[in-house]
Amino acid sequence: MSQVQLASYFASYSDILSLCEETKRRIGKNFDLKAFHEEFLSFGNAPVPIIRELMLARLQEENQDQRQNLVRNKVQVIYKLSVAKIVKGILRLPIESA
């Protein structure tokens, strides 16, 4: 193995380690090293910078989906509470006889 190969391997190793740390930081306590490796290896022999972009883009999409689901759930709760208040108010109205 030549010095150039060693430098290339070390640069890739550093990039992969950096990606792993970034992924850990973004995912937090739910980070799974095995899942990280499986996803990383699923890209085959693509260059590490390309894999990094793709993996971080996927994380960004997942975060946006989670935020949208959270907002959607809050809206549903508010809607249900509003409907419940309206129904409760209607049920309290006196019944008018004709």
- For residue range 33-85, what is the model confidence (pLDDT) as tens digits? 999 999 999 999 899 999 999 999 999 888 887 878 778 888 788 878 777 77
Structure confidence by residue, pLDDT tens digits, 76-95: 888 787 777 777 777 676 66
Domain locations in the chain?
3-92
Question: Are 60 and 53 a contacting pair, CB within 8 Å?
Answer: no
Closest-CA residue to 23 (of 63, 61, 59, 65): 59
**Cα atoms found within 13 Å of the Cα of residue 73, Cβ hemisphere only:** 6
Inter-CA distances, 31 with 9, 20, 22, 56, 87, Å: 25, 10, 11, 14, 45
Cα torsion angle, 37, 42, 48, 51, sign? negative
Which pLDDT band holds residue 97 (cuts at 50, 70, 90)?
Answer: low
Which pLDDT band holds residue 22 (cuts at 50, 70, 90)?
Answer: very high
pTM: 0.65
